[in-house]
Amino acid sequence: LDVPHGLGHAVGCAREAVGDAPFAVLLPDDIMGDSSLLSQMADVAEASGGSAVGLKRVAPSEVSSYGVVETIGDVDADGVVRVRSMVEKPAMDEAPSDLILIGRYVLAADAFEAIDRVTPGANGEIQLTDALKMLANDAPFHGVVSKISRYDTGTPFGWLTAVVDLALNDDQIGAQFRAWLQ
């Protein structure tokens, strides 16, 4: 049984199942309002022959909790931007932008080779962000800025916010739940 060594290691474990095809990675602690972002990312990756990541704009005070991208040029009208590089959890004053990586990735098959080249960090973890930087350096790499709702359930507050918002907006139980809350 493999011992976990970071997100890069976890993605690398899927190599045999994925083979030589592009693939998507969806982190379960990021809940999206619908599948349109992933669909657009797949289209961008296919058209460019490279990889695409989901992005979201956040307040500068939030960037230190996430991976942040450095872009080439501006975000276009469709929310697409070329990505030069990324930094994992930078200090607010060192962040290259206000665009964070969210838990959606469409990666070319060469992502596995990049993961193999990552030097594990001090804690032995293989960071997916390090492999993504290599991909951005070697091939077309784009970000797609999300226009849909997103919930980061990686914290108790984020999880509660997701549960309450989704329940309130649900056609079957929303009215009953709203009445109960009041």
Average pLDDT over residues 51-64: 95
pTM of the model: 0.89
Residues 6+ apart with CB under 8 A from 142: 44, 45, 48, 50, 51, 52, 53, 80, 81, 82, 83
pLDDT at 122: 77
Res 150 pLDDT > 50:
yes
| Helix, strand, or coil (residue 1) | coil
Mean pLDDT, all residues of the chain: 94
pLDDT at 2: 64
Q: Are 27 and 107 in contact (CB under 8 A)?
A: no
| Helix, strand, or coil (residue 113) | helix
Per residue in 113-138, pLDDT (tens digit) is: 999 999 998 788 999 999 999 999 99
pLDDT at 1: 46
pLDDT at 73: 95
Instruction: Please measure the distance between the N-terminal and C-terminal CA atoms of the chain and give it in whole angstroms.
Output: 49
Q: What is the largest CA-CA distance in the chain?
A: 55
